[in-house]
Chains A and B, each alone.
Chain A
Amino acid sequence: MSARRFRLRSASPRAGLEAPALASLVDLLTLLLVVLLRTWSSEAPLDLPEPALLPVSRAEDPTGPGVIVDIGQRGLYVDGRRAGSVAFHLQSEDAVVHEVGEALSARGGERVLLRADEGTPWPLISKVLLSAQQAGYREIELVAVSAASL
């Protein structure tokens, strides 16, 4: 056999990975790192008491600590404890949800984080907001998924 099919390049002093290939690998990893740092969050994964999809927002303000009120497709929850039924309170003519107000008063905070399913109608959100205000909470935030998420 006159010609070698596979030439070994190890004979060269600069054998192995060439600098241009390494540079492009570093570029790629740097881009990946920047994208990850920009879009990923160190918050704990979302833990909802029942399956729900949060609305998507263009805002990028981070959420802080607070008493969590969840409005799922079936139930209302304060810090994970059920505080009423969605169907009942949608039909109810009360302007507030008393169970939510009582649970919030018992916790005695100043800030409420409201996590509502994206299909929750406004009248129910309004009742929960009024309940939180009447319970003495001054800061109410509606939690949404940032559009910058992956």
Chain B
Amino acid sequence: MRRLFRGERPPPDARPALLAVASLMLVIVPMILLTSSGQKLTGIGLALAGPEEELPPLPPGPVESLRVEVEPQGYRVRAGVRRSDVRAQIGEVEQQELLAPDLPALQAHLGRLKALDPARRRVQLAPHAETDAAALVALVDALRQGPDGPLFPEVVLEPAP
């Protein structure tokens, strides 16, 4: 026999399900804390240009050479950029020298060069004798990734003189 007037059912009790999830979390979180380490290590691949070693050829692009030198006052970018104006001769390369007092200024210069030659991936880096490991890592990070996107992921280090 059907009931004419159905009574309003109480809403289902969500507490058992929530309690089960909370209990699971309370087990998982201490387990992760016990079995893992808060220090996450990362590896930065380094390539050192040997004196007699030939680097693999680069794809042809407007930026023919790119070198960053660390100086006591900042950074110097030396770039060989192929001229493209109508008066330029075929293969004529303009040597540009750009100074940067800090890493953001360096990244701005490199960003402009990257915009000229998006296919270029390699940059040569000549650290200063007083550059320490922390500064070297910060510099390699800055050369690889700029504020607006990736710059030059292949950083080739020049050996110390």
Contact = CB atoms under 8 A, between A and B. Distances in A.
Interface stretch (A3-11, A17-25, A74-82, A100-108): A17-25
B42 A60 contact: yes
Contacts, number: 182
Contacts of B57: none
Chain B contact-residue range equals 35 or more
Interface of B: 13-15, 18-19, 21-22, 25-26, 28-29, 32-33, 35-48, 50, 127-134, 136-138, 140-141, 144-145, 157, 159-160
Interface string A100-135: 000000000000011011111111011101100100
A144 B159 contact: no
A55 B44 CA distance: 11
Interface of A: 14, 16-19, 22-23, 25-26, 29-30, 32-33, 36-37, 39-46, 54-64, 71, 95, 113-114, 116-123, 125-127, 129-130, 133, 139-146, 148-150
Contacts of A146: 40-42
Given A59-B44, A140-B46, A149 B39 contact: yes
